[in-house]
Amino acid sequence: MDSGLSKTLERAETDLTNSINGLKEIDGLSVTETIANCQLHGEYKKWSRKITMMATIKTETICPVCAKEKVDQIKQQIADKKAKTKELEITKLLSWAEIPKRFELCTFDNYLPGNKSAERNLRICKAYAEKWEDRLKNGGGMVMVGLPGTGKNHLAVSIMKEIIKNHQHYVLLTSVNKIIREYRSTWSKDTTKSESEVIAEFSSPELLVIDEVGVQYGSDSERLIIFEIINTRYEEMRPTILISNETREQLAEIVGERVIDRMKDGGGCELVFDWESYRK
Ligand SMILES: Nc1ncnc2c1ncn2[C@@H]1O[C@H](COP(=O)(O)OP(=O)(O)OP(=O)(O)O)[C@@H](O)[C@H]1O
Ligand SMILES: [Mg+2]
Ligand SMILES: [Zn+2]
């Protein structure tokens, strides 16, 4: 919080307390009580205390209603400022999340489950977002596998947006291809970015969603970079969500059973999307 504003609030609160309880006698300096008149609120009891040392310092209490209004007004200012800061933070994090335009409007509310499995997946994703703090503490990720057009991205993006809105955490949507592109860019002559910087880049978000995890994995070193990222995140207990069109078994072959297991550590889970595409 703004320290200037919080000091102002402290002072106003002291004024309010004094206006109700009166001033205390200090060092034998007597306190006098009179009835004063506030132009807005009428008569009130006023306490005064005078100290004369080099100069005379007079302390007087003010109208308690005015004092209360002042405190409320500062509290409101602080709340407004906080809300504004939060709003800016959310806008920034939404842009950092790299959610493609296509999914910008996706939320839990506009996901319409057409069958029991979809209902279940929606429920689990909602719970994931609601229990985010636990998930984050325990590094619990998720695996979403299944057929095209079934709403894997829709639900992953909904989770991301909830986390940004409610927790202002840094979440990022990426894909295996994007990671590999970043990794390859470190080979270029005119780049200063190193391999470990690429790993750090994808390890830093509190939640990383990796889309299109599938057979398109290229060389061994490319496979390794993906594993490095997942592993670094695992070790730092940062949740990762993997999305794939492969079956659970194929995915296990591609990324290794261990990786899938790691997603589930800390209360993560596996969701299967095995119905017809919503697209047509
Ligand atoms: N149950 C649903 N209710 C509302 N919209 C849905 C639903 N399922 C999918 N959609 C919409 O259909 C489109 C395709 O969904 P999405 O991209 O999330 O699917 P996907 O499972 O990620 O597909 P792919 O495997 O091809 O990437 C999106 O625009 C999404 O918002
Ligand atoms: Mg998708
Ligand atoms: Zn007053």
Ligand closest to Cα of 61 equals 3
What's the rounded Cα separation, in Å, for the pair 167 and 160? 10
Cα–Cα distances in angstroms (integers) from residue 138 to residues 48, 143, 239, in the given order: 58, 16, 8
Question: Which residues on adjacent β-strands are paired with residue 159?
Answer: none
For ligand 1, whether the C-beta of 174 sits within 6 Å is: no
Looking at the chain, how many residues does it have? 280
Span from the CA of 6 to the centroid of ligand 3 (angstroms): 22
Is residue 216 over pLDDT 80? Answer: no
Model confidence over 22-74: pLDDT tens digits?
Answer: 998 877 778 999 999 999 999 999 999 887 777 778 889 999 999 999 999 99
What's the rounded Cα separation, in Å, for the pair 249 and 231? 20
What are the start-end ranges of the H helices in the chain?
3-21, 64-96, 116-130, 132-138, 152-167, 176-185, 195-203, 220-235, 248-255, 257-264
Model confidence over 76-93: pLDDT tens digits?
Answer: 999 999 999 999 999 999
Ligand 3 ion: Cβ-proximal residues, 5 Å cutoff: 38, 40-41, 63, 65-66
Q: Is 97-273 a domain of CATH 3.40.50.300?
A: yes
Domain boundaries, the chain: 3-91, 97-273
Atom 10 of ligand 1, residue of closest alpha carbon? 151
pTM of the model: 0.87
In 3D space, the residue among 146, 226, 138, 250 whose CA is nearest the CA of residue 178 turns out to be 226
Atom 7 of ligand 1, residue of closest alpha carbon? 151
Span from the CA of 273 to the centroid of ligand 2 (angstroms): 11
In 3D space, the residue among 163, 155, 173, 156 whose CA is nearest the CA of residue 134 turns out to be 163
